[in-house]
């Protein structure tokens, strides 16, 4: 037994984290074993002994989920963990963005942070726990880091903010906000709004075919749960308060257990005030001219020419010239913004770059949009498919495989910034930007599980905010595919420059301002609120007033962009020849047998006769018919409805020919649930008749889904509320 081993229990209110120190992976520079519920993670920090020559922080973060942690064997042909999943990659990126600012200036040792998930718990938020574990491993290591970072997720359930909700609770949340920070400052924010959809059927109409969402039979409500600026600030305040308390607890527990610091050398930033003054005196206008070159490649060429000219005149190290020139360029950019309220391209602080929009320019594609803002250009396409085209994936916290029927893929080829780099599979940046775009757009899109939508954004040119150009292009491309989009969604990247008491918030930042600024703040949403947000803060804390001003300025820019998008929407011409035609309608699931026929004979005949594809959902009664033309789809729809009517007429005839049992109001029966519909459950009653247990009669509180309370084959005690002919309405007393 290791006498140095130590166990620490940290009480965070609704949850407890138990850390084991000096017991596992003891040869690492730092390691912690953490347990929450049944989830166990091992976080380690390892460091090489020699520094790299390049001027950057060589930090690598790997979050890895082991299949055995959930008692699973990896799916597919190869039965071991291989390529990281998107969730693993995005979690690694979150940890990296949160911890990278902690490393001291001049630290250049190759360093690796690895987080293994060794045991899973379906209710534990692994992203939050992984960041906390990685931070703890850094603090107890021999690296010169004494600041703890805490992660927190905030949900909004029944109108109330909830800190660190369980995974099951998050399913009922309209907000998913992830924030990382220390006692003193927030470092990283990820946010998405979660849309909701309710479908209710009028009980008096249940005996008639349901021939379309939005008809007199069906009420279809789709609500986007955007957050207002005020709600966003309140949610971040809730997260900030929790982070302050938890980060303080971490530091109080971990710092006394820190290893003896390693003897490290730091790169000293070579400076020359004489060279700086020389550039200011002789090359200021040339540097300003270079800054005015908007393209990154052109600006780099101009700065290299200046550096070469200085090197030819002065006997000074080229590396020193390059670094001093970059520092001088940064000062010029920031001074122009803070002193003159003018940016490198001549814009004011609140100005959005010129925007051009073209839709459906690719004739053989289901839909497309070319969105150009300044020197950032995204070509966004939409491809439609069926439920078999959905992306299947596994989650450690769920037993069954999941299916994703809305995908957004973002590609960033080197030529978009003038570089001749090889084309590689998407990296962390591409996955992160694609995920941000998906989170922004998803609440606005109304599709069911029978439809799969794939959005692809090809960045053709980039000078800042290509992810937000993707959001704008994707929203219009979805409209151009004739998909049910509740509201248009636009995105804009904001920046911040602070020097002493001077402060400037920048709208629609370009690459230069992102590089030389103090904050990268992306906000996406509709006219009514925010659907997604991502913030990386480089300078430290940000006060509520600055955050509020930035959100208000972002809203102003978003409304400007949405105005241009709405104008483009009015000019959309559908790619009728490319778009698949489909119709959606509802029928009584009890008639599906007549539509399918014996051994599927009838439905096969319909498919062959009308050249269509047919999807039937027995649970909801939804029918989807898809084909190459609207005419064939409508003809198949009418044929299917006719079959359903005949089946129902035969059922009614059979009912009329038999004596209908009569019940008295208030009678109580034990019965079995025989069928589920979106509007309620049908319960078998004496006499061979089924009574309706409407969704509104399942509980005193609002019920979102019938199956949240009862399911097929459940035994229930019910009370007769009323009877009209062979229609019996019931109330639920209890489940048996």
112-116, 570-574, 660-664, range with the lowest pLDDT: 660-664
The CATH homologous superfamily to which domain 581-656 belongs is: K Homology domain, type 1 (3.30.1370.10)
Token pair 């990382």 is at which residue? 180
Position 197 confidence tier, pLDDT thresholds 50, 70, 90: very low
CB of 527 closer than 8 Å to CB of 224 = no
Average pLDDT over residues 599-608: 88
Task: Give the model's pLDDT for residue 652.
Answer: 58
Residue tagged 């960033």 (tokens):
412
Mean per-residue pLDDT of the chain: 87
What angle is formed at CA 529 by the lines to CA 523 and CA 532, rounded to 5 degrees? Answer: 35
pLDDT band at residue 201 under the 50/70/90 scheme: very low
Instruction: Give the residue from 685, 676, 605, 602 showing the smallest Cα distance to 644.
Output: 602
Cβ neighbours of residue 625 under 8 Å, at least 6 residues apart? Answer: 582, 583, 612, 613, 614, 633, 636, 637, 640
Q: What is the pLDDT of residue 297?
A: 63
Q: What is the mean pLDDT of residues 182-186?
A: 88
Fold exhibited by the domain 668-735? OB fold (Dihydrolipoamide Acetyltransferase, E2P) (2.40.50)
Q: Starting at the edge strand that comes first in sequence, how are the strands of the sheet with 622-627 ordered?
A: 581-586, 622-627, 612-616
β partners of residue 581: 627
Distance from C-alpha of 329 to C-alpha of 279, rounded to nearest angstrom: 10
Q: 3-class SS at 351? A: coil
Closest CA to 340 of 291, 397, 380, 279: 291
Given a cut of 50, is residue 319 above it in pLDDT? yes
Terminal CA-CA length for the chain: 53
Cβ neighbors of 709 (< 8 A, separation 6 or more) are 698, 699, 703, 732, 735
Give the CA dihedral 706, 710, 711, 715, nearest 10 degrees: -150
> pLDDT band for position 576 (50/70/90)?
confident
Asked if pLDDT for residue 174 goes beyond 80, the answer is yes
- What does the DSSP 8-state code read for residue 255? G
Q: Mean pLDDT over residues 376-389, rounded?
A: 90
Q: What pLDDT, on the 0 to 100 scale, is given for residue 113? A: 98
Contact criterion met (CB below 8 Å) for 279 and 325? yes
Average of pLDDT values for 683-687? 84
Residue 100 burial (CB count, 10 A): 14
Percent of the chain residues topping a pLDDT of 70: 93
For residue range 143-170, what is the model confidence (pLDDT) as tens digits? 999 999 999 999 999 999 999 999 999 9
User: Which residue in 537, 719, 599, 605 sits closest to 149, CA to CA?
Assistant: 537
**At residue 252, does pLDDT exceed 90?**
yes
DSSP 363: T
Q: Does residue 553 or residue 313 have the better pLDDT? A: 553
Tabulate helix, strand, coil % of the chain (nearest 5).
Answer: 35, 30, 35
Confidence check: pLDDT of 647 > 90: no
Give the neighbor-by-neighbor strand order of the sheet with 529-537.
160-163, 150-157, 175-181, 186-193, 529-537, 519-526, 490-499, 502-507
More confident residue, 696 or 412: 412
Least confidently predicted of 9-23, 64-78, 217-231:
217-231
pLDDT bucket at 212, cuts 50 / 70 / 90: very low
Distances (CA, A) of 457 to 119, 187, 359, 410, 454: 36, 28, 14, 5, 10
Q: Is the pLDDT of residue 205 over 50?
A: no
Cα distance between residue 332 and residue 280, in whole Å: 10
**pLDDT reading at 430 higher than 80:** yes
Contact 434, 415 (CB under 8 A): no
Handedness of CA 414, 419, 423, 429 (dihedral sign): negative
Q: Does residue 664 register a pLDDT over 80?
A: yes
Tokens 């299947």 locate to: 392
Closest C-alpha to 443, from 174, 678, 218 = 174
Tokens of 611: 């050249």
| 119 pLDDT more than 90 | yes
Tell me the mean pLDDT in the region 696-710.
83
E-strand ranges in 617-659 read 622-627
pLDDT of residue 129 exceeding 90: yes
Average pLDDT over residues 110-128: 96
Query: In this predicted structure, what is the pLDDT of residue 38?
Result: 95
Contact 602, 616 (CB under 8 A): no
Using CA atoms, how far apart are residues 288 and 216, in angstroms rounded to an integer?
65
Q: Are 398 and 440 contacting, i.e. CB atoms less than 8 angstroms apart?
A: no
Greatest pairwise CA separation for the chain in angstroms: 109
Confidence band (pLDDT; 50, 70, 90) for 557? very high
Give the number of residues written for the chain.
Answer: 736
CA distance 445 to 451: 11
3 state DSSP class of 195: coil
Q: Mean pLDDT over residues 543-554, rounded?
A: 88
Q: What is the pLDDT of residues 355-378, one digit of tens each?
A: 999 999 999 999 999 999 999 999
Give the CA-trace dihedral at 399, 404, 408, 410, to 10 degrees. 40
Lowest mean pLDDT among 396-400, 415-419, 500-504, 597-601: 396-400
- Stretch 183-188: mean pLDDT, rounded? 88
pLDDT of 199 over the 60 cut: no
Note the CATH number of domain 6-162+170-195+222-257.
Answer: 3.30.230.70
Element (H, E) at 614: strand 612-616
Say how far apart CA 209 and CA 444 lie, in whole Å. 29
Q: Is the pLDDT of residue 216 over 70?
A: no
Distance CA 649, CA 655 (A): 10
- What is the rounded average pLDDT of the residues 83-94? 93
Residue 118 CA, distance from chain mean position = 25
Q: Residue 41: what pLDDT?
A: 98
Query: Containing H/E element for 250?
Result: helix 229-254
Helix, strand, or coil here: 137?
helix
Q: Give the single-character DSSP code of 141.
A: S
Distance of CA 532 to the CA centre of its chain: 8
pLDDT value for 273: 84
Q: Residue 417 and residue 538: Cα distance in Å, rounded?
A: 23
CATH H-level superfamily of 355-569: GHMP Kinase, N-terminal domain (3.30.230.70)
Comparison of pLDDT for 396 and 456, the residue scoring more: 456
The listed range with the strongest mean pLDDT (79-88, 253-262, 287-296, 689-698) is 253-262
Q: Which residues contact 695 (CB under 8 A, 6 or more apart)?
A: 200, 678, 679, 680, 703, 706
In whole angstroms, give the CA distance from residue 89 to residue 420.
26
For residue 102, pLDDT over 70 is answered with yes
Using a pLDDT cut of 90, give the percent of the chain over it: 46
Residue 195 pLDDT: 67
Q: How many CB atoms lie within 10 A of CB 347?
A: 17
Ranked by mean pLDDT, the top range of 442-446, 447-451, 611-615, 659-663 is 442-446
- Helical (H) or strand (E) element with 433: helix 428-441
What are the C-alpha distances in Å from 229 to residues 162, 208, 547?
A: 18, 45, 9
pLDDT exceeds 80 at position 691: yes
Give, in order, the Cα–Cα distances in Å from 499 to each of 218, 338, 502, 503, 508: 58, 8, 5, 7, 20
Instruction: Quote the pTM value.
Output: 0.78
């Amino acid at each position: 037994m290791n006498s140095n081993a130590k166990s620490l229990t940290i009480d965070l209110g609704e949850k407890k984290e138990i850390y084991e120190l000096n017991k596992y992976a003891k040869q690492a520079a730092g390691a912690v074993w953490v347990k929450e519920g049944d989830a166990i993670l091992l976080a380690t920090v390892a460091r090489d002994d020699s520094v790299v020559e390049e001027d950057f922080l060589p930090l690598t973060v790997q979050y890895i989920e082991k299949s055995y942690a959930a008692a699973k064997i990896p799916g597919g042909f190869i039965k071991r963990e291989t390529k990281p999943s998107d969730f693993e990659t995005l979690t690694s990126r979150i940890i990296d963005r949160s911890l990278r600012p902690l490393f001291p200036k001049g630290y250049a040792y190759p360093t690796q942070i690895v987080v293994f998930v060794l045991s899973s718990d379906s209710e534990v938020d692994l992203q939050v726990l992984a960041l906390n574990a990685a931070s703890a491993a850094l603090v107890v290591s021999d690296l010169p880091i004494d600041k703890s970072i805490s992660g927190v997720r905030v949900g909004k359930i029944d109108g109330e903010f909830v800190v660190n909700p369980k995974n099951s609770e998050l399913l009922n949340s309209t907000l998913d906000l992830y924030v990382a920070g220390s006692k003193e400052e927030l470092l990283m924010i990820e946010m998405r709004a979660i849309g909701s959809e309710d479908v209710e059927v009028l009980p008096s109409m249940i005996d008639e075919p349901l021939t379309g969402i939005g008809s007199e039979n069906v009420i279809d409500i789709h609500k986007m749960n955007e957050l207002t600026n005020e709600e966003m600030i309140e949610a971040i305040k809730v997260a900030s308060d929790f982070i302050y308390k938890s980060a303080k607890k971490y530091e109080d527990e971990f710092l006394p257990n820190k290893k003896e610091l390693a003897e490290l050398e730091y790169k000293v930033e070579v400076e020359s005030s004489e060279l700086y003054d020389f550039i200011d005196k002789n090359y200021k206008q040339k540097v300003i001219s270079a800054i005015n070159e908007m393209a990154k490649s052109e600006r780099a060429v101009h700065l290299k020419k200046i550096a070469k000219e200085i090197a030819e005149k002065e006997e000074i190290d080229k590396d020193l010239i390059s670094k001093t020139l970059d520092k001088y360029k940064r000062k010029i950019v920031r001074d122009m913004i803070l002193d003159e309220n003018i940016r490198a391209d001549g814009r004011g602080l609140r100005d959005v770059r010129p925007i051009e929009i073209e839709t459906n320019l690719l004739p053989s594609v289901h839909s497309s949009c070319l969105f150009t803002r300044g020197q950032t250009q995204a070509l966004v396409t939409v491809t439609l498919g069926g439920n078999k085209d959905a992306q299947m994936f596994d989650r450690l916290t769920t037993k069954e495989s999941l299916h994703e029927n809305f995908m957004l893929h973002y590609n960033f080829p080197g030529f978009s910034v003038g570089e001749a780099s090889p084309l590689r599979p998407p990296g962390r940046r591409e996955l992160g930007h694609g995920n941000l775009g998906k989170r922004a757009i998803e609440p606005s899109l109304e599709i069911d599980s029978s439809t799969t939508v794939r959005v692809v954004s090809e960045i053709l040119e980039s000078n800042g905010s290509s992810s937000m150009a993707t959001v704008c292009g994707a929203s219009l491309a979805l409209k151009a595919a004739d998909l049910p989009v509740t509201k248009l969604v636009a995105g804009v990247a904001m920046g911040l420059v602070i020097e002493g008491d001077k402060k400037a918030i920048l709208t629609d930042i370009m690459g230069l301002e992102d590089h030389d600024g103090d904050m990268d703040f992306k906000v996406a949403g509709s006219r009514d609120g925010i659907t997604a947000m991502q913030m990386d803060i480089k300078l430290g804390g940000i006060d509520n007033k600055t955050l509020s001003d930035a959100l208000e300025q972002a809203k102003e820019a978003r409304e400007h962009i949405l105005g241009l998008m709405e104008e483009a929407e009015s000019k959309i011409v559908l790619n009728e020849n490319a778009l698949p035609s489909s119709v959606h309608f509802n029928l009584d699931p009890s008639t599906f047998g007549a539509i399918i026929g014996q051994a599927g004979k009838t439905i096969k005949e319909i498919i062959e006769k009308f050249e269509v594809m047919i999807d039937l959902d027995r649970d909801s009664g939804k029918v989807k018919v898809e084909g190459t033309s609207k005419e064939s789809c409508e003809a198949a729809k009418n044929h299917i409805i006719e079959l359903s009517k005949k089946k129902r007429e035969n059922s009614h005839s059979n009912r009329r020919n038999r004596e209908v049992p009569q019940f008295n109001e208030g009678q109580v029966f034990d019965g079995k649930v025989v069928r589920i519909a979106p509007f309620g459950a049908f319960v078998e009653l004496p006499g061979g008749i089924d009574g309706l247990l409407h969704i509104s009669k399942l509980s005193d509180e609002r019920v979102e889904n019938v199956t949240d309370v009862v399911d097929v084959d459940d035994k229930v005690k019910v009370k007769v509320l009323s009877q009209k002919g062979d229609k019996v309405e019931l109330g639920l007393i209890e489940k048996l």
